[in-house]
Amino acid sequence: MRAEFPTDAALLVQNAELRARLAEVEETLQAIRTGAVDALIVETTAGPKVFRLEGLEAESSQFRGEILAQVSDAVITVDDGQRVTYLNAAAERQYGVTASDALGRQLSEIFQYRWLRPGDEAAAVTALRETGCWRGENVHVKRSGEVIYVESSVSRLHTGDSIRSGLLAVIRDNTERRKAEQERALLEAQLREAQKLEAIGTLAGGVAHDFNNILGTILINAELARQDASSNDQALVSLTEIEKAGHRARDLVQQILSFGRRQPTSRQLISIPSIVEESVRLLRTGLLGGTRVECHCAADTPFILGDSTQLTQLLLNLGANAAQAMEGRPGTIDIRVEGVTSDETSARPDLCLRPGRYARIVVSDTGHGMDAATQRRIFEPFFTTRPPGKGTGLGLCVVHGIVQVHGGAIVVHSEPGKGSKFEVYFPSASDSAAAPDAIEVAGQAAEGRGRHILYIDDDQTQLFASKRMLERWGYRVSAYFEQREALDAVLSGKLRADLLVTDFNMPGTSGLEIARAIRDALPDLPVIMVSGYVNDELRTQAAAAGVRELIAKPQDLEEFRDVVQNIFYPSAKTLSRDSP
């Protein structure tokens, strides 16, 4: 049998392959000699095994590398072409990448950065050029789209190695700290805003108090004059108009006071949807043609403790505000009521809201919207964007007062041209404090029949008018505008009174102090106190001081008459109210 010999061509191919293998081996050896190889892979019976080619220097370098790897801030180096040449474990975690994925990539593929202020970038470039380092804050946007606020310290790398030259950045994620700072700043701003509104409210309340006294005098005198001018039709018409205007002014004053004092007049268990339905009905009747009102009430809306009149007022004011923003153009006012839960973990619409269950009313419109400057001022009394004479500037400020009174919160979202949305949160009844009882004002009456009333008020015109009115009802009245003089007279026995009526807010001795003195010395002498604003605190104090009745000023004459009569005849029916 003849042996098979390879052909010349086959030998040439084999030769070429062997030369290539040899070249490869030589290349590998050269790479090992020059230190370009980190490890050798050797085939063993148990499979391939990796042998690292690392000496003492490498160990030392590895130790330093470990230190850098364990730094809690992200450390990244980039070459002059902005390619990532190193990143530690913290950087891998911070940007959600692995070293093998990030190395060699453009830094912009790992995150995008934004400057916080115009001019920051130029300042950083200048600092790096002139001093070789820059430290500052900016924003990084990760691949995932997540935004983080960072503080970076960037310096030039000088290693004499083309790969290792470039920039070194140590980056600290400040997002959580910044968020906490922003939250604190927001709380401080809310506190400042609340203090400002409180101050304005106090000022407005003070003015309203004086105004109230003047109004009381006007109304009482108008009533007296109307009774005297019963035969003069022209004068009666004028006096009726004076009374109407006086009542309008009194309502306005009550609005200012309800903003300034922030106490509910009564609190009951309230279903907001039922109030919304009533309010929407009222609102619709006053709307211009093109505006529609849509109302959605969720079944899970919790009950709240509140004053139904004030809540109706709140809805009407918000609705009127929305309608004004529409300016008669076609559009929709959307009113939604639902139950929401605020907890520690969820984003709270208002930082003042404690965790708990809330009833939320959302009133949104498709009107002209508001810019940020307007939004900051909308709850200030008398602030209005409407032309003079078109708005009092009290609507939203009253809303704010009502919300505060009910322990709730109000949040506004608006942009010019995109409408406005007011979100009002009221704590559910189960989360509210126990409701104080409302004052029950009874209305049993009797005529004066010569009974003696001691009347104390520092406002002489008010005092004079009240005296005249009471005398007309058949009482004898001793009027004092000096509290001490009145007290001396009654306590010494010089003056024997059947009833004492005193104003609450007076310089020097207050109505409460007078009541206490009477309670201690003459417990059988009933006391009625009159105040410009009746709140729960005053009710409690008045009850403790022995005050039998507390009346809001300016007094409604019929109510005042009933209260006085009720002191003398507690169980009697109203007696001949219309008789002279």
Q: Binding residues for another protein, per CB under 8 A?
A: 24, 27-28, 31-32, 34-42, 47-50, 52, 54, 58, 61, 65, 79, 81, 83-86, 99-101, 103-106, 163
CA atoms of 138 and 242, how far apart (whole Å): 66
> Nearer Cβ to another protein, position 26 or 294?
26
Tokens of 451: 């009974």
Minimum distance from CB of 150 to another protein (Å)?
23
Burial (CB count within 10 angstroms: exposed 0-12, middle 13-18, buried 19+), residue 402: buried
Of 54 and 146, the one with the shorter C-beta distance to another protein is 54
Give the residue with the Cβ less far from another protein, 26 or 198: 26
Min dist CB 409 to another protein, Å, is 52
Q: Contact, 361 vs 301, CB < 8 A?
A: no
CB of 53 to another protein, least distance (A): 9
Among residues 112, 104, 107, 70, the alpha carbon closest in space to that of 88 is found at 70
CB of 86 to another protein, least distance (A): 7
Find the shortest distance in angstroms from Cβ 162 to another protein. 8
Q: Which is nearest to 321 in space by CA: 252, 376, 397?
A: 397
What is the SS3 string spanning 120-177? HHHHHHHHHHHHCEEEEEEEEEECCCCEEEEEEEEEEECCCCCCCCEEEEEEEECHHH
> Residue 87 or residue 514: which is nearer to another protein going by CB?
87
Q: How far is residue 98's CA from residue 77's CA, in Å, rounded to a whole number?
A: 15
Q: Closest CB to another protein among 92 and 471?
A: 92
How far does the chain reach from its first CA to its final CA, in angstroms? Answer: 155
Rounded CA-CA distance 3/14 in Å is 19
Residue number with CB closer to another protein (89 or 235): 89
Closer residue to another protein, CB minimum distance, 16 or 116: 16
To another protein, the closest distance from the beta carbon of 358 in angstroms equals: 52
Tell me the closest approach of the beta carbon of residue 161 to another protein, in angstroms. Answer: 9
Structure tokens at 173: 């994620």
For residue 14, the SS3 value is helix
Burial 100-112 (b: 16+ CB within 10 A, else e): eebeeeebeebbe
18 or 123: CB nearest another protein? 18
Closest approach of another protein to the CB of residue 101, in Å: 8
